[in-house]
Every structure is written in structure tokens, then in C-alpha cells.
Amino acid sequence: MAGVVNVSVPSALLNLSINKDMINYIKDNRAVWASFGKKNSHMYRTELFTSMSTSKLNPEAQLMVLFFFSVIKNRDRVLKAMGLLDAEMQKADWFVPAKGFIESRVVQYVTQAERQNKFPAVNIPTCMPGFDILVWSLMSEDKDRTVDNACMRTTFSQLTLNQSLQAKAKAGYAYYWKNIVVGTNNPEKKEAPMMRDQYYANSESDKYKLIKISEKNKLEEVNPNDEGLGYTEKEMNDYFRLFDNTTVAKENTSPPSPGTGRPGTSGGRSGGSGSR
């Protein structure tokens, strides 16, 4: 460009200054720089629960927001299905607040959420992976509640898994993106939805725990037998068997549906949609 003086690297360096305190600050905060400018699942969870608290959702309404998006990660379909619930369910204390929150504070995609200062539906299950697997376990038929099927839920890879189970999870994750996700309706998405190793690496590094329902209907985390290695396939199968119909009937572990006082019965499958 005419009139512009080229600045060499040595000249540029003369305009910069660094001291020992700055060097130590940078080195001491390496974990911060690893996620600097990015939003991981922990940040999304904080944002979601802050938004629900600000919106004054009671605990049951908060749970049901999470529940519906574990059943299906599509905002419009969730709202449509909520409108088709039976009259008794729609009279529950949680129904109107939960529906109002989804209508006013949730959009479908991350790009929409960033622009509108709202929360992306696709990130609700992934900010609470243990809860997502709990919901899947509750709503799955006994014969379908297997490790192989669980591996096809993207949240499964976010759990604290041992090496062999993590390999299975990765195979299921790849299958999900190749065979279940058929495309995206996000007009701002330029790349086709597909398995991406860098995204999987983020999921694998999360190391979340399973969640169980206690005898007092409290939600609690479940530690692996060896936290250093992670859940084994046997531990995972033992967890899934807690939700068998025979076990639930015998131990009466089925929680009441929020706001109804009757045993929770939820059907359907989680629908796949382009989630990025």
C-alpha cells in the first residue's frame, strides 16, 4: 500500500514489553488459556441454571426442562409435544413455568443463542450428561437398555469411562453422526454435520459421573469403583439393570412425576438432529 511503512519483526518487538509477573501469570493460568474464548459444558451448565434461576423456575420445572431435551433435542418439537400432553399433566405446577422458559429463553442452535443472548437447545443434554443417561435409562425398555445402545447417545462419551468402554463410546459416537444425524436445519451452518475428532476429544475429557435416584427420590452422583480408571462395562450394565421393570416394581424406585404425585412414565426415544 502506498504511504505505508513496512514494520519488521525486530521493529515490532521494540514496541512490546513483558515482565516477570506477566510471564508467571500466563504460565500459572494454562488451564484458562486452554478454554479461553470457548464455552465448555461446565460453562453452559452454569449459564443454563443461572438463566432458570433468574426466571424463577422451581426445582421441578428445572428438572422437566432438562428432561424434555433429553427426550428430544429440538425446541419446536418439544413445545409441540408439551401442548399434546394430557390435561392433568398440563395442570402440574411445573408445566407453565417450564413451557414459558423454553418459549422465551431457549433457541435451537448455538449461533442463534449467541446472537439473541439465549440458550441453545442442543447443549442442554450435554451440560448434564449423567442426567441425560438417567433419563434414557428411565424411558428405555429393559431389552434396549444396553451399553451398545447407550454408546449411540453423544452424552455417553462424556462420562468417566475406562479405556475399553471409551473405545466403544467413540465407535457409537461415530455411528450416531454417520447414520442417525441426516442433516441440519441451521441456515447458518456451512459445514455438514459429521464425526469430528476434536469435538469427540472435548467430550472424552469431560469425565462426568452417572446419576441415580436414591430411595428418598434424591438425585445423586454415582462414583466409579476406581475413579482413576473410570466405569467398567460391568458397572455400566449393573447401573442399567437398576431400571428394569422387575427391579423397579420390587424396590419401588420409580420416582413420582413432578407435580403429579404418581409414578413417572415417559415414553419415546431421543430424536437425532444436527446438534452443532
Distances (CA, A) of 244 to 10, 222, 226, 237, 253: 70, 18, 25, 11, 10
Amino acid occupying residue 217:
N
Q: Which of 128, 119, 120, 173 is nearest to 151 (CA)?
A: 173
Q: Residue 182: its pLDDT value, please? A: 61
35 pLDDT more than 60 = yes
For residue 193, name the pLDDT band (cuts at 50, 70, 90): low
Q: Are 89 and 260 in contact (CB under 8 A)?
A: yes
- Domain positions in the chain are 39-127, 129-249
SS3 readout for 41-55? HHHHHHHHHHHHHHC
Which range has highest mean pLDDT (4-8, 148-152, 193-197)?
Answer: 148-152
Which has the higher per-residue pLDDT, 273 or 136? Answer: 136
Mean pLDDT (the chain, rounded): 85
Q: How far apart are CA 210 and CA 6, in angstroms?
A: 58
Q: Which of 47, 45, 117, 107 is nearest to 78 (CA)?
A: 107
186 pLDDT more than 90 = no
Q: Summarize pLDDT for 110-145 with one digit per residue, the tens.
A: 889 889 999 999 999 999 999 999 999 999 999 999
